[in-house]
A = this chain, B = another copy of it.
């Protein structure tokens, strides 16, 4: 899928890899900009933030284990065997008003809860490490059917991850109560820093 960016807003913050890693659906969605998955929306927001000097946030490249590389005589090195590797951190990090922010983004079609299996244990550990260093950690959770996106604090996620060993998901009610709704917006379509502002305000 090719994304058309507004002229001038796309600096060097483009999608770092050309393949999807299964976190965003490929179907046209009815919320936000037509045809944009959550990852595209976040990339668009990051481009907007960079162009408008509001924040510098990049998606990390997909981690790959490279097994074989060909070095043709007059051409670029070609990777001929490689495998996807599980990321040991979250997908996004950067700087916002001097502070470190770090997050992952997930979407679900569920309407009443968010399955915790969407996160890997090392991502939870990573977010806990970030918090212990005074960084700002959160996840963006999008309920695609409801067309609602939330910034959900890492502190809440970590607590529930520990509590809910048996239970499989966080209830929608908890996310509404402890998260921060990302307000509707046109450009960027997912102006998540607005919700981060609310979170930081309430942490003061």
Contact = CB atoms under 8 A, between A and B. Distances in A.
A79 B188 CA distance: 33
A80 interface: yes
Interface in A4-39: 11-14, 16-19
A14 B83 contact: no
B19 A122 contact: no
Q: Which of the four size classes fits the interface of chain A?
A: 35 or more
Nearest to A14: B88
Interface in A140-181: none
Contacts of A134: 95, 97-99
Interface stretch (A62-70, A111-119, A196-204): A62-70
Interface in A63-88: 63-67, 69, 76-85, 88
A133 B66 contact: no
A96 B12 CA distance: 25
Given A17-B65, A126-B12, A133 B79 contact: no
In the A-B complex, the 10 residue pairs with the closest CB atoms = A98-B134, A95-B100, A95-B135, A12-B88, A100-B100, A79-B82, A61-B63, A61-B61, A19-B66, A95-B133
Interface of A: 11-14, 16-19, 50, 53, 55-56, 58, 60-67, 69, 76-85, 88-89, 93-100, 102, 122, 125-126, 129-130, 132-135
8 contacts: A16-B63, A17-B65, A56-B126, A64-B64, A79-B81, A79-B82, A95-B135, A97-B133
